[in-house]
Amino acid sequence: MHKAYRFRLYPTRTQAELIHQTIGCCRFVYNHFLSEWNQAYETTGAGLSYNECSKRLTALKQTLPWLKAPDSTALQNALQQLAEVFDRFFDGTANAPRFKSKKHPNQSYTAQCNCHFCALPTPIIANHRITWYDNCQTFLSDKGTIFYKEFE
Whole-number pLDDT of residue 66? 93
Whole-number pLDDT of residue 62? 93
Whole-number pLDDT of residue 2? 64
**Structural domain that includes position 126:** 108-150
Whole-number pLDDT of residue 109? 78
Q: How many domains does the chain have?
A: 2
Q: Is residue 99 part of a domain?
A: no
**Burial (CB count within 10 angstroms: exposed 0-12, middle 13-18, buried 19+), residue 80:** middle
3-state per-residue secondary structure call for the chain: CCCCCCEEEECCHHHHHHHHHHHHHHHHHHHHHHHHHHHHHHHHCCCCCHHHHHHHHHHHHHHCHHHHCCCHHHHHHHHHHHHHHHHHHHHCCCCCCCCCCCCCCCCCCCCCCCCCCCCCCCCECCCCCEEECCCCEEEECCCEEEEEEECC
Verify that 36 and 72 share a domain, yes or no.
Answer: yes
Verify that 25 and 76 share a domain, yes or no.
Answer: yes
| pTM, entire model | 0.74
Whole-number pLDDT of residue 104? 82
Whole-number pLDDT of residue 52? 92
Q: Is residue 126 part of a domain?
A: yes
User: Block means of pLDDT (10 residues each) for the chain, length 152 residues?
Assistant: 67 82 92 93 87 93 91 89 90 90 81 48 40 45 57 56
